[in-house]
Each structure stands twice: as C-alpha cells, then as structure tokens.
C-alpha cells in the first residue's frame, strides 16, 4: 500500500525523497513484509528485488544465467549462492536501483550477506551498504493471521476469521461464495516454516547487528504506523 497524503505530511520533502539505499526487510511469515515493501516503493520510488522473481524471469527468458539455473533445477538440485549472486549483480546494474532498492528473500545465508557487502563496497546508490529492518510480530498473532486466512475463489477478497470476519461465517460479503482456505495455512505447516525461518535468519541478523546495520520494529501496530517505523529505522541506520 502507498503512503497516504495524510501520512506523508508527517515527513518533510527531504525525508520522503532522500535516497534510502539498499534495504533488507526481514520478518517471519505473515508479518506483512509485502505490504510494507509496497509502501516503501511508493514513498521512495525504489524497486523491490525478489530472488524468486529473478530466478523465474531468467529461466523464462532463456538468459545464459537462466539456462544454467534451469539445468540445476531439472536435476532436482538447489541453485547455488554463486548463481543467485550473479543474477542479483546483473539486476543491480539497471538504472531503477540508483536511489536504492528493497531486497526480498535475499540474502538468506551468511555467504550471500558477505557477497552483498563486498559487491556494494564503493558501488551502487551512493556506495551505501545494506541496512536490515526486521518486522516483529508475536507468535500467537502470526498464528491467527495465517490459520485464520480465508479467500473468496471468485473475487479474490481476503478475510480472516479472527481479525477480519465476513458478515456471514465462511461466506464472501461481496458475492456470497463459500470462502476457501489454503492447504498450507495450518498450524503444523506454520510451525515448520517458523523453525526454518528462525534457523536461516539468525546468522544473517547477527551479521547486520554486529555491523550496526540492524533494527527491529513493532509489526503489531496499524499498517501506516509500521511503515513510519520502518522509514524511521532506515533513517536512523543511515545517520
């Protein structure tokens, strides 16, 4: 979601348009990273860079890197850090990254984080290093967000039986269609994803914390308040 006109008034012109440099948004499944990324993109005019999108794009376009990745995937293997790094390096040469960008799903490992630091040393938007901001939401709240999620298969409206209930239980307000639940929106799958996220993210968080480039923000506030908190965190980390 974009930063509203009312919210933008709380920022000076300089604060809204100053180049933020590269930003890594961290957060467990369900914290709202996608929503916050869209708000930052609108406020600062910077792109979001998803390694998943890069991988799919390179494969579908048949680029040299995409052909190498497809061969790996066809063997049922994971694409190496080196190949992902190369895709990111190519993406960062595009002019829309000049003021900064939001990293999504990358870096996931210490090796990737170290590569990013080395690659950006003296390069990129004002030669700024990556700063990491983690959106924090309590376990029980996240569980309710995930397991309570329901979607209308017709109009794609999204509800939550705990947080944003339809007027009639399990029925879409707009067209009366029975709501559906994703097969992976279960407590068991959520617990597994949380364990994987924490194990994978802990060393990356420590990497940025040790370098003074990490902050946490409260993700249980209203959406606009979280956006403001993330922007403030970036400004502090850049000061």
Q: Given pLDDT bands bounded at 50, 70 and 90, which one contains residue 122?
A: low
Catalytic: 144?
Answer: no
Which residue of the set 145, 149, 150, 213 is catalytic?
Answer: 149
Which residue of the set 56, 67, 123, 182 is catalytic?
Answer: 182
Number of C-beta neighbours around residue 23 at 10 A: 25
Catalytic: 94?
Answer: no
User: Tens digit of pLDDT for each residue in 137-146?
Assistant: 999 999 999 9
CA angle in degrees (0–180, nearest 5) for 231-104-140: 75
Which residue of the set 33, 91, 145, 213 is catalytic?
Answer: 33
Q: What is the DSSP string of 143-158?
A: HHHHHTEEE-TTT--E
Mean pLDDT of the chain: 88
Q: Which CATH number fits domain 21-137+202-238: 2.40.50.460, 3.40.50.300, 4.10.520.10, 2.70.98.60?
A: 3.40.50.300
Max Cα separation, the chain?
A: 57
Gap between the Cα atoms of 92 and 48, Å rounded? 11
Which residue of the set 38, 70, 108, 211 is catalytic?
Answer: 108
Catalytic: 235?
Answer: no
Q: Which is nearest to 107 in space by CA: 124, 121, 119? A: 119
105: DSSP letter = S
pTM of the model: 0.81
Q: Given pLDDT bands bounded at 50, 70 and 90, which one contains residue 8?
A: very low
Which residue of the set 38, 70, 181, 193 is catalytic?
Answer: 193
User: Tens digit of pLDDT for each residue in 161-185?
Assistant: 999 999 999 999 999 999 999 999 9
């Amino acid at each position: 979601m974009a930063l509203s006109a009312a919210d933008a008034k709380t920022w000076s012109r300089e604060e809204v348009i100053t180049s933020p440099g590269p930003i890594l948004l961290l957060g467990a499944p369900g914290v709202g990273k996608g929503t916050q990324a869209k708000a930052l993109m609108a406020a600062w005019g910077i792109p979001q860079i998803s390694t998943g999108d890069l991988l799919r794009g390179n494969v579908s376009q048949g680029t040299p890197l995409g052909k190498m990745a497809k061969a790996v995937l066809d063997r049922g293997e994971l694409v190496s850090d080196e190949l992902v790094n190369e895709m990111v390096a190519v993406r960062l040469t595009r002019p829309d990254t000049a003021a900064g960008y939001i990293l999504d799903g990358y870096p996931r490992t210490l090796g990737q984080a170290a590569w990013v630091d080395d690659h950006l040393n003296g390069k990129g938007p004002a030669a700024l290093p990556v700063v990491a901001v983690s959106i924090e939401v309590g376990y029980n709240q996240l569980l309710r967000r995930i397991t309570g999620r329901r979607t209308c298969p017709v109009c794609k409206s999204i509800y939550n039986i705990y947080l944003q209930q339809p007027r009639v239980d399990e029925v879409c307000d707009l067209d009366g269609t029975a709501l559906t639940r994703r097969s992976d929106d279960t407590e068991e799958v959520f617990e597994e994803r949380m364990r994987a996220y924490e194990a994978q993210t802990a060393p990356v968080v420590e990497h940025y914390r040790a370098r003074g480039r990490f902050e946490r923000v409260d993700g249980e506030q209203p959406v606009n308040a979280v956006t403001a908190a993330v922007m403030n965190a970036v400004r502090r980390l850049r000061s």
